[in-house]
């Protein structure tokens, strides 16, 4: 009896437990690579700001302020 894992009481946890037992805990869905997306996101804002002219940046900032704070 010591080798047998304890069954969870919650229905959702029990369902996951049964699936894990049936599939040996392996997932057929590959996990996404979030690090590459994060690196691109960190570079994106600075690259966009460098590409815009000061007038364009000011117009974007004014539009954002108007949207945030109202007319």
| pLDDT tens-digit map of 13-71 | 888 888 888 888 676 676 677 777 888 888 888 898 899 999 999 999 999 999 999 86
Evaluate whether residue 65 is within a structural domain: yes
pLDDT tops 60 at residue 1: no
Q: What is the pLDDT of residue 2?
A: 61
Range of the domain at 71: 40-71
Evaluate whether residue 57 is within a structural domain: yes
Q: 6 or 58, which is more confident?
A: 58
Residue 71's alpha-carbon distances to 14, 22, 31, 59, 68, in angstroms, are: 53, 59, 44, 15, 9
Evaluate whether residue 11 is within a structural domain: no
Domain count, the chain: 1
Count other Cβ atoms within 10 Å, centred on residue 17: 15
pTM higher than 0.75: no
């Amino acid at each position: 009896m010591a080798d047998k894992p304890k069954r969870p009481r919650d229905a959702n946890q029990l369902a996951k437990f049964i699936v894990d037992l049936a599939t040996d805990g392996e997932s057929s869905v590959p996990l996404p690579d979030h690090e590459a997306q994060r690196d691109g996101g960190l570079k994106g804002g600075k690259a966009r700001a460098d590409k815009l002219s000061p007038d364009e940046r000011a117009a974007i900032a004014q539009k954002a302020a108007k949207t945030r704070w109202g007319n």
